[in-house]
Amino acid sequence: MARHTEKAPGDAELLQGTLDMLILKVAALRPIHGYAIVQRIQQISREALQIRQGSLYPALYRLENQGLLKSDWGKTETGREAKYYSLTKAGRKHFEAETAGWKRLCDAVSLVLESAE
């Protein structure tokens, strides 16, 4: 799915489904092609997350087949043809629900880690 650039003690691999949520987040900002999605995730994560093409493109196809993303062909900054992905209404609802669930999970994990026991 996704991997970290350097494995420091305590680093964990992304949970299954997290890549989908990250893709939906980036595609929610503006229509974007696959390579730019990878670059944006790396940039936002300060290079901590690097997505392999072997993980990205199956996820993009899956999200499109589920009706969460739509795609249109367009030209990149360099003039090449590329498929641009954007969120559908269903994708936005799904992303909001997944984000809320992720925040609940993070809060619950934080409670356990911060407990005095």
Instruction: Band the pLDDT of 117: cuts 50, 70, 90.
Output: confident
pLDDT at 35: 93
Question: What distance, in Å, lies between the first and last C-alpha atoms of the chain?
Answer: 34
The CATH number of 2-113 is 1.10.10.10
pTM given for the model = 0.81
**Structure tokens, 70:** 């739509």
pLDDT at 11: 37
Q: What are the phi and psi torsion angles at 6 (to 5°)?
A: -125, 135
Q: Which residue has the higher pLDDT, 3 or 48?
A: 48
pLDDT at 15: 60
Nearest Cα neighbor of 50 from 103, 86, 80, 14 is 14
**Structure tokens, 61:** 């196809």
Q: Rounded to whole angstroms, how far apart are CA atoms 84 and 82?
A: 6
pLDDT in tens, 54-104: 899 999 999 999 999 999 999 998 999 999 999 999 999 999 999 999 999
Give the percent of the chain with pLDDT over 90: 77
What is the chain written as a DSSP string?
-EEESS--TT--PPPTTHHHHHHHHHHHHS-EEHHHHHHHHHHHTTTSEEE-HHHHHHHHHHHHHTTSEEEEEEE-TTS-EEEEEEE-HHHHHHHHHHHHHHHHHHHHHHHHHT---
Instruction: Band the pLDDT of 14: cuts 50, 70, 90.
Output: low
